[in-house]
Amino acid sequence: MNMLRLVTACMAFAGATLALAQAPRPVVEAEVRKVDLDTQKITLKHGAIPNIDMGAMTMVFRVSDPALLQKAKAGDRITFTADKVDGVITVMSLEPAKP
């Protein structure tokens, strides 16, 4: 009986972990301050990013795909998602903001 409880608890934990890992990233509004193609980084003045517990600020980000940098220039209003990749906060998606 104890083994059954252990297996059930492990399955519940694994299911909860998988659900958290697949949760969608929140979309955040930002203003592009700088795009640096050489270093493949973007500077954003952004709102709070709840999934990484970060308040609103201006910050330089790495991008998950250098092609994202082609979608924006300084002064643009955008929406983006971010997450930690190998311990570094990284822009995962980026789109022009809807008017």
pLDDT along the chain (99 residues), means of 10: 56 49 87 97 98 97 97 97 97 94
CATH number at residue 47: 2.40.50.320
Q: Which tens digit of pLDDT belongs to each residue from 10-24?
A: 555 545 444 445 679
Determine how many CB atoms are found less than 10 A away from the CB of residue 32: 22
Q: Is residue 32 part of a domain?
A: yes
41-46 and 88-96 strand pairing: unpaired
Q: Is residue 16 part of a domain?
A: no
Closest to 82 in 3D by CA, of 74, 94, 70, 96 = 94
Q: Which tens digit of pLDDT belongs to each residue from 45-54?
A: 999 999 999 9
Which pLDDT score is estimated for 80? 98
Number of structural domains (the chain) is: 1
Q: What is the pTM of this model?
A: 0.76
- Please give the residue range of the domain that contains residue 36: 26-96
Which pLDDT score is estimated for 23? 76
Q: Is residue 48 part of a domain?
A: yes
How far is the C-alpha of 66 from the C-alpha of 61, rounded, in Å? 12
